[in-house]
Amino acid sequence: MAVIEDRRPWSRRLRNLEFILGAVLTGIMVLAVLCAGLLFPDGGEGFDLTARLLPPLQSWAHPLGTDPVGRDVLARVVTGGGISLTVGFASVAGAVVLGTLAGLVAGYYRGIWDMILMRCADVQQALPFILIALTFIAILGGGIDRLIFFMVVSQWVQYARLVRGSVLSLREREFVQAAAAIGVRDHRIILDHLLPNVLGPIIILMTLNVANNILLESSLTFLGLGVDPLIPSWGGMLADGRTYVQTAWWISVFPGLAIMLTVLGLNLLGDWLRDVLDPTGKL
């Protein structure tokens, strides 16, 4: 075995690198955001009118510079991450619970539930989330809770499909048949025997979707359809920074970098997980 592995040392090293890089990026971002209140007690709202549009690396007080009202870019980037991470994790948590339950039921019982689920999947595939969100948020107004709600509504189907697919093949397997034969109740079969077997692919999809939803949230907020523009958020900072992109590049560079590095960290972790948990490449 050792000989075979040694033939591709690069591969193994990079695979580990992928995990380390992903974990470090995600870890730093999450940690910074969790400590935002301690690091920047003013929540990125404090302004210094004598230091407006200060370029980065000019002053120790504002290492990433300041915006047009003299607010510290670093403080706002760290504080603003809270919105993105909240939306990313909360939306995925909601969708995964709903989707997994629906997928387990549809895959195990088939029939009408299965049909409803698959038709939902067809609709969901045809309409990109951003278009649904555009319509509804344009009409009902934005806000964190609505963003999360729409993400859950439009993404639970992905988990449901994934789980349904696995359950369809699992339910024919001997261990499930045996459990049913000795009289184990349906809900115990579903929760004790089927659920643990579908967790791997779910975790991978969750990681990738947290990344994806952070991107979606920032796009919508950038377009003025997401989080309240008065709350510091990455998308909102980029929308403000756009006006100053000619004169003050740093206002729009750093929040974007923050989004990219967070999403990259999660994507690296997701990719690494895919290799570890799903080597046959179903996802």
Partner 1 sequence: MIGFVARRVALAVFVVLVVTLLVSWAIRLTGDPAIMLAQGAGSVTEEDLQRIRIALGLDRPFLVQYLGFLQGLLTGDLGRSFLGNTPVILLVGRALPATLLLAFVSLFASILLSIPLGIHAAVHKGRAVDQMIRILSLVGLSFPNFWLAMMMVLVFSIALGWLPPSGMEDAASLVMPAATMAIILTATNVRLVRTTMLETLSAQYVMVARSKGLRERVVLYKHALRNCAIPLITYIGLQFGGLVGGIVVVEQVFAWPGMGSLAFDAIAARDYPVLQAVITVLAILIVVINLAVDIAYGLVDPRIRTE
- Residue 18 touches partner 1, criterion: CB under 8 A: yes
- Residue 249 touches partner 1, criterion: CB under 8 A: yes
Strand partners, 71: 47
- Calculate helix-pair angle for 111-126, 144-170, nearest 10 degrees: 130
Angstrom CA distances, 66 to 36, 38, 45, 191, 227, stand at 17, 20, 12, 52, 22
- Calculate helix-pair angle for 195-222, 249-277, nearest 10 degrees: 170
Spatial distance between the Cα atoms of 7 and 12, rounded to a whole number of angstroms: 10
Tell how far CA 10 is from the center of its chain.
Answer: 29
Strand partners, 47: 71
Q: Which tokens hold the place of 14?
A: 């990079």
| Structure letter (DSSP) for residue 127 | S
Least distance between partner 1 and beta carbon 53 (Å) = 16
- Among 53, 130, 195, 203, the residue binding partner 1 under the rule CB under 8 A is 130
- Residue 26 touches partner 1, criterion: CB under 8 A: no
- Among 114, 219, 231, 283, the residue binding partner 1 under the rule CB under 8 A is 219
- Among 134, 168, 179, 277, the residue binding partner 1 under the rule CB under 8 A is 134
- Among 211, 213, 232, 273, the residue binding partner 1 under the rule CB under 8 A is 211
- Among 144, 162, 190, 225, the residue binding partner 1 under the rule CB under 8 A is 225
Binding mask 77-116 for partner 1 (x = CB under 8 A): ----------------------------------------
- Residue 123 touches partner 1, criterion: CB under 8 A: yes
Q: 111: Cβ–Cβ under 8 A, 6 or more apart, which residues?
A: none
- Among 168, 180, 264, 283, the residue binding partner 1 under the rule CB under 8 A is 264
- Among 31, 115, 116, 138, the residue binding partner 1 under the rule CB under 8 A is 138
- Whichever of 80 and 190 has its CB closer to partner 1, that residue is 80
Whether 154 and 124 have beta carbons less than 8 Å apart is answered as yes
Whether 238 and 83 have beta carbons less than 8 Å apart is answered as no
Which stretches of the chain bind partner 1, using CB under 8 A?
8, 10-11, 14, 18, 119, 122-123, 125-132, 134-136, 138-140, 211, 215, 218-219, 222-223, 225, 238, 241-242, 245-246, 249, 252-253, 256, 259-261, 263-264, 267-268, 271, 281
